[in-house]
Amino acid sequence: MNTNSNTYTIVYSAIIVILVAAILAFASMALKPKQDANIKAETISQMLTAAQFYTKEECDEMGNDKVLEAYSKNIKRAFVINAQGDSTRALGTEAKNIELQDGLKAQDLAIKNGKNMELPVYVFEKDGKEITVIPCYGNGLWGPIWGYLAFNEDLKTFLGAYFDHDSETPGLGAKIKDDPDFRAKFIGKIADFSQVPVFDIVKTGTKKNQPNAIDGISGATITTNGLRDAVNTWLIAYKPYFEK
C-alpha cells in the first residue's frame, strides 16, 4: 500500500486524531468526579488556612475527607449576599453536602458590571468568636489570581489571608502563594472603607503607622498590583454587608 499518497495521509491523520480525542474525552469524563472533589477540598483548605485554623501543610496532610469534616465542624453559617448586602440564600455546611459558591470569575464580572451579584460569605466560629471569610479574584501577570480573606469579629481587622494563582512566575509572582511571610503581613492590618484604596499593597514601601497597607513583592509589581485591585474590588462589593 502506498503510505505516501494524499488520500492515505488525510484519512490516516483523521483516524489518529479522532481516536486520540475519544481516549482523552473518556479519561476526562472518568476522572472528573475525583478531580472536582480535590478542587473542592483545596478551596476549603485555603479558607481554613486563611482563617488560621490550620496551616496549608496540615490541610494537605489531612486528606479530602478530613478537610471537609473540619470545615463542617468549624463553620457556623454560610450564605450568599446580593449587592445590598442582604443574605439571599443559605449554603449547605454539612460534611456530606457542602455547598461552595464557585465560579469566582463569573462573580468578578458581576461585580464589575454591577448586577446579578451572588457573593458568598463564610462565617466560622473559633473560641466563641466569629471569623468571616470572603473570597477575592482578579488578574495577575499571566493569569487569574484569587484568594480568601479572613476577618475578625469587628469585620475590619485581617485575621489572615491565603492566595492562589494559575500561572504566576515561580520565585516572583508565585510568592503570593508560596511565601508564608507575605501572607503573614496581612495579619492585624485593617480594611479602611473611608480611604481610597481600602487596602493598599505598596511598591515603594509602606509609610509608618499605615494600618491599611502592606509592602509588595520585589520583582512582582504586576502581580501585586493585580492582587491589590482584586482585594479592593471585592472588599468594596462587600462593603454594604460589612457595614450592617
Partner 1 sequence: MNAKLKETILNPIFKNNPITVLILGICSALAVTVEMKGALVMSISVIIVTGVSSFILSLIRNTIPNRVRIIVQLVVVAMMVILVDQILKAYAYGIEKQLSVYIGLIITNCIVMGRIEAFALGNKPIPSLLDGLANGVGYGLILVVVAIFREIFGSGTLFGVQIIPQSLYEAGYVNNGLTILPPMAMILIGVIIWIQRGIQKDLQE
Contacts of 49 (CB under 8 A, 6+ apart): 55, 56, 59, 148, 160, 162
Q: For residue 167, give the amino acid letter.
A: S
Convert residues 81-110 into a mask of x (bound to partner 1 by CB under 8 A) and - (unbound): ------------------------------
Helix (H, G, I), strand (E, B) or coil at 4: coil
Pick 17 or 90: Cβ nearer partner 1: 17
Quickly count: other Cβ atoms within 10 Å of residue 96's Cβ. Answer: 8
Convert residues 14-53 into a mask of x (bound to partner 1 by CB under 8 A) and - (unbound): --xx--x--xx--xx--x--xx--xx--x-----------
CB 152 within 8 A of CB 50: no
CB 225 within 8 A of CB 201: yes
Residue 55 within binding range of partner 1, rule CB under 8 A: no
Residue 8 within binding range of partner 1, rule CB under 8 A: yes
Buried-state track 6-20, b at ≥16 Cβ within 10 A, e below 16 = eeeeeeeeeeeeeee
Strands 87-90, 158-165: parallel, antiparallel or unpaired by DSSP?
unpaired
Pick 177 or 228: Cβ nearer partner 1: 177
Write down the least CB distance from residue 24 to partner 1, Å: 6
> Of the listed pieces 6-14, 65-73, 77-85, 119-127, which binds partner 1 according to CB under 8 A?
6-14
Write down the least CB distance from residue 108 to partner 1, Å: 22
Write down the least CB distance from residue 161 to partner 1, Å: 19
Contacts of 220 (CB under 8 A, 6+ apart): 141, 168, 169, 172, 173, 175, 176
Taking CB under 8 A as the criterion, which residues in 164-223 touch partner 1? 167, 170-171
Residue 116 within binding range of partner 1, rule CB under 8 A: no
Which residues would be at the binding site for partner 1 (CB under 8 A)?
Answer: 3-4, 8-9, 12-13, 16-17, 20, 23-24, 27-28, 31, 34-35, 38-39, 42, 60, 167, 170-171
